[in-house]
């Protein structure tokens, strides 16, 4: 059998790891510049923590972990005989890989509430897993880079998150991203005025797919979910919404005049839009998108989604929103929060397609000592220990080999200095140092060797 990896996962070469680290470090630096602190949570959670938090579609994409040992021993025989997978799953699987970082974060806040200073600003950069169908930019294992604020219902947090998105993408050289924004109160208001309040989740999930399946596809999905033709007809203006942000706000104000909830959403959106315009953005665009719903059940206010520059065919590269009571699902009521996420893997693909990665210097030693035998190797390692103590990266070629082979190794790894130690050097307590760039070669004592390679 040929070795392989599961679909939707990837290996990363040294260059790819370096490029990913560059993106992570850029995001991390901006997070910390905005006052966020890092946390980490386990790769897997209790199933009860995750299930029921992402809607019906999300729950199907959670990777379940089989109980250890004979996991069928305690399974109900009737469930097995009937092949009732839904009821059987809860008996054979008590844990699951995390689907995102937000729900585990809510669990963390509740569990550690006595140790947290509120408002709590945290960031988290870790992998998540989804049993999705792999395609370009969609993987089963991928990293999320999240920032959240809990314990504050101030809309200034939403304004700051828009600035944070803008700051990260500007630092990455990714100009022309579009930060799409909507508000779940607006969607609730629309559902109310068209007479489909009892189908709010079905309505928003279908509407969110407009850019993927088109107007006709959305209408058919709404019909299949029990939303009547009259309600769908009243929702038609949403499919053709146009104009700048202020014009869209005015149109929404008129559309939602009879909905208290809807008008509140418009007022929140207006606050965010107007203050962001006053502060200005560096390279990103901010755009109201009334079809933006994001199928997750926990958003209650602003909703964000970031689109790559229009020259790149890619799904969203970031998203998030406001949740008024996410921690309530774990027993801590009335703790409002708002958060955003960066899609590291998609951002990587976008930067790669636009040739925005600079050549990355891979980790390598500054000095390579050739290996000419046991006596010479021991003498070299004593010098290597002293070089490393001065934070100068140094390496001994692991085995005695022909000089040509060892020099070829130094060339391929672009190591700037090679030190040759033979019996004469050992006897004289010196080192022959070759500069691999200039070709210059000198015999130096230990102090001179330090001076020659330090800060190079």
Exposed, middle or buried: residue 361 (CB in 10 Å: 0-12, 13-18, 19+)? exposed
Rg of the chain over CA atoms, in angstroms?
29
**Alpha carbon 260 to chain centroid, angstroms:** 36
Please tell me the predicted confidence (pLDDT) of residue 239.
80
Distances from the Cα of 432 to the Cαs of 224, 236, 298, 367, 425, in angstroms? 80, 80, 66, 12, 7
- Residues 372 and 382: their CA atoms lie apart, in Å, by 15
pLDDT tens-digit map of 352-399: 999 999 877 788 999 999 999 999 999 999 999 999 999 999 999 999
Please tell me the predicted confidence (pLDDT) of residue 84.
59
Please tell me the predicted confidence (pLDDT) of residue 85.
66
Query: Which residue has 């370096």 as its token pair?
Result: 18
pTM of the model: 0.85
78, 30 Cβ separation under 8 angstroms: no
Query: Which residue has 């009334």 as its token pair?
Result: 290
Please tell me the predicted confidence (pLDDT) of residue 442.
95
Taking Cα atoms as reference points, which of 432, 368, 412, 204 lies closest to residue 298?
A: 204
Which residue ranges in the chain fall short of pLDDT 50? none
The two beta strands, 178-183 and 302-307, are antiparallel
- Residues 372 and 369: their CA atoms lie apart, in Å, by 9
Please tell me the predicted confidence (pLDDT) of residue 295.
56
60, 50 Cβ separation under 8 angstroms: no
Please tell me the predicted confidence (pLDDT) of residue 301.
93
- Residues 277 and 109: their CA atoms lie apart, in Å, by 33
Taking Cα atoms as reference points, which of 313, 307, 268, 265 lies closest to residue 285?
A: 307
- Residues 380 and 421: their CA atoms lie apart, in Å, by 7
**Is the Cα dihedral 155, 160, 164, 166 positive or negative?**
positive
pLDDT tens-digit map of 57-101: 788 899 998 877 676 666 666 666 666 566 667 667 789 999 999
Q: What 3 state SS string does the chain have?
A: CCCCCCCCCCCCCHHHHHHHHHHHHHHHHHHHHCCCEECCCCCEEEHHHHCCCCHHHHHHCCCEECCCCCCCCCCCHHHHHHCCHHHHHHHHCCEEECCCCHHHHHHHHHHCHHHCCCCEEEEEEEEEECCCCCECCECCEEEEEEEEEECCCCCHHHHHHHHHHHHHHHHCCCCCCEEEEEEHHHHHHHHHHCCCHHHHHHHHHHHCCHHHHHHHHHHHHHHHCCCCHHHHHHCHHHHHCCCCHHHHHHHHHHHCCCCHHHHHHHHHHHHHHHHHHHHCCCCCEEEECCCCCCCCCCCCCEEEEEECCCCCCCCCCEEEEEECCHHHHHCCCCCCEEEEEEEHHHHHHHHHHCCCCCCCCCCCCCEEECCCCHHHHHHHHHHHHHHHHCCCCEEECCCCCCHHHHHHHHHHCCCCEEEECCHHHHHHCCEEEEECCCCCEEEECHHHHHHHHCCC
């Amino acid at each position: 059998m040929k070795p392989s990896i599961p679909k939707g996962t990837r290996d990363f070469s040294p260059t790819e790891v370096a490029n990913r680290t560059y993106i992570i470090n850029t995001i991390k630096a901006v997070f910390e510049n905005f006052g966020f602190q890092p946390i980490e949570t386990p790769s897997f959670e209790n199933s009860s923590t995750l299930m029921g938090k992402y809607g019906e579609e999300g729950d199907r994409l959670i990777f379940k972990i089989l109980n250890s040992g004979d996991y069928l021993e305690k399974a109900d025989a009737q469930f097995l005989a009937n092949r009732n997978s839904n009821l059987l799953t809860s008996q054979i699987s008590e844990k699951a890989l995390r689907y995102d970082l937000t729900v585990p974060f809510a669990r963390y806040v509740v569990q550690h509430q006595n140790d947290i200073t509120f408002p709590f600003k945290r960031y988290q950069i870790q992998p998540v897993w989804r049993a999705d169908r792999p395609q370009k930019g969609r993987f089963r294992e991928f990293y999320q880079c999240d920032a959240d604020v809990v314990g504050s219902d101030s809309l200034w947090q939403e304004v700051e998150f828009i600035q944070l998105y803008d700051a990260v993408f500007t630092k990455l050289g990714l100009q022309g991203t579009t930060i799409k924004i909507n508000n779940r109160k607006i969607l609730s208001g629309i559902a109310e005025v068209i007479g489909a309040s009892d189908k709010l989740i079905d309505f928003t999930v279908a509407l969110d797919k407009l850019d993927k399946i088109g107007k006709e596809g959305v209408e058919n999905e709404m019909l299949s979910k029990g939303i009547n033709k009259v309600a769908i007809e009243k929702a038609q203006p949403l499919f053709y919404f146009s104009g700048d942000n202020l014009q869209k706000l005015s149109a929404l104000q008129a559309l939602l005049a009879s909905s208290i909830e809807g008008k509140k959403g418009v007022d929140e959106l207006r606050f965010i839009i107007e203050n962001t315009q006053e502060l200005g953005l560096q390279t990103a665009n901010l755009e109201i998108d009334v079809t933006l719903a994001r199928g997750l059940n926990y958003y209650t206010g602003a909703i964000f989604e970031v689109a790559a520059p229009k020259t790149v065919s890619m799904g969203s590269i970031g998203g998030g929103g406001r949740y008024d009571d996410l921690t309530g699902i774990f027993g801590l009521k009335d703790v409002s929060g708002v958060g955003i996420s960066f899609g590291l893997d998609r951002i990587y693909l976008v930067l790669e397609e636009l040739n925005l990665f600079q050549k990355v210097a891979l980790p390598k030693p500054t000095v390579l000592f050739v290996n000419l035998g046991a006596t010479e190797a021991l003498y070299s390692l004593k010098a290597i220990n002293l070089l490393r103590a001065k934070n100068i990266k140094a390496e001994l070629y692991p085995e005695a080999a022909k000089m040509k082979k060892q020099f070829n190794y130094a060339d391929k790894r672009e190591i700037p200095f090679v030190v040759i130690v033979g019996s004469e050097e050992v006897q004289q307590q010196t080192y022959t140092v070759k500069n691999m760039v200039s070709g210059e070669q000198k015999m130096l004592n230990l102090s001179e060797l330090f001076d020659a390679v330090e800060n190079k």
